[in-house]
Amino acid sequence: MKKLTTALLALSAASALVLSGCSSDDNGRGGSDAETGGSEAPAGFEEGSTIGVALPQKTSENWVLAEQLFNDGLTDAGYEPIVQFANGGVSEQQNQIQAMVQQGAKVIVVGAIDGSQLGSQLEAAADQGVKVIAYDRLVKNTEAVDLYVAFDNFKVGELQGQALLDGLAERKGEGPYNIELISGSPDDANSKPFFEGAMSVLQPKIDDGTLTVVSGQVTQQETSTQGWEAENAQNRMDTILAGNYEDEELHGILSPNDTLARAALTSVKQAGKDTPVITGQDSEVESVKSIVAGEQYSTIYKDTRELVAETINEINLAQQGEDFEVNDEESYDNGVKVVPAFLLEPKIVTQENAAEVYADDDTLAPLTEQ
């Protein structure tokens, strides 16, 4: 892994210099001199302030990496970080957010376990002047969220759907094809755009007969995986294979992330079936090895270093009294408001382009060497 602190500081400093030299767009969190009728800039907060980062359970390698990056990056930027996982569930995350407010956090970054159950805690934070940044997962049903920083999750789904089609054509010959669908945890706001993005690509092919979902399970509810738990995905796939594929071949599986992809592949192997084309996400080490070996077909690379660096850039803007930087003000309606967002671009990874995509990643690049 390249030196994270240097990268974070350089990116943060560059953003601060550019944005401090020009006026930023008004996103409802401040105003220009003309709008406010005065000459004062929006209020920031003291250097060295406490910043809270409330992360969910450790369900993927990227969350574990985010913990390290936030601790290192915020410390190097001069803040006092409080970075916590809520492995005990939603109630623990609620308590952690309350404690962060009590400890004087000026910004709270939230990677929600369940984005619909934090409204009371975040509204109490907002009442104390705390800025709230939803990180990776949208916080729902509350006004008390100022910014959403994430990779474009609908685009992630589109890339996964297209990768499944490409992989089927490449590895399974001419269709039609039998496939199954896996979606993420229903309490994770990201599960919906992942699934809807993928289905925007796959549904036309289901409608014209190119694809057949043999189990008949085609809705997000039917295909969901509670808690993103590998065991839940594997058990469901065991049941599907036993009930539908005794005399049928399974050609492909839409999986929303790498952990569930590996679980599904385990189920397929135990059933004695040929390896299907299967998608993933997160570029987890074991899945990258599998892709290079020609087993798992694809994953999505969402560089956590970039996501954390951008989040810290936004915190720096808040500290300086500047508006947040956004590039999407229309797409993310949380049920109460459209949350301004800064979206990064995800990258599809297959055996063919893995070496190129991971060239600057010191952990993953060596895995592509053959």
- Provide the residue ranges of all domains of the chain, joining segments of one domain with +: 4-145+303-345, 153-301+351-357+364-368
What pLDDT score was predicted for residue 255? 98
- If we measure between CA atoms, which residue out of 157, 152, 151, 139 comes closest to residue 220? 157
What is the assigned CATH class of domain 153-301+351-357+364-368?
alpha beta
Q: How far is CA 96 from the centre of its chain?
A: 21
Tell if the pTM clears 0.85, that is, is over it.
no
- If we measure between CA atoms, which residue out of 24, 87, 11 comes closest to residue 307? 11
Strands lying side by side in the sheet with 252-254: 211-213, 177-181, 252-254, 277-278
**Mean pLDDT within 318-346:** 96
More confident residue, 98 or 57: 98
pLDDT band at 370 (very low <50, low <70, confident <90, very high): low
Residue range 126-184, pLDDT digits in tens: 999 999 999 999 999 999 999 999 999 999 999 999 999 999 999 999 999 999 999 99
Residue range 207-263, pLDDT digits in tens: 999 999 999 999 999 999 999 999 999 999 999 999 999 999 999 999 999 999 999
Averaged pLDDT score across all residues of the chain: 89
What pLDDT score was predicted for residue 189? 87
**Mean pLDDT within 111-130:** 94
The two domains 4-145+303-345 and 153-301+351-357+364-368 share their CATH topology (first three levels equal): yes
Residue type, 59: T
Q: What is the CATH number of domain 4-145+303-345?
A: 3.40.50.2300
- If we measure between CA atoms, which residue out of 208, 303, 200, 173 comes closest to residue 254? 200
The secondary structure of 89-108 as a DSSP string is: -HHHHHHHHHHHHHTT-SEE
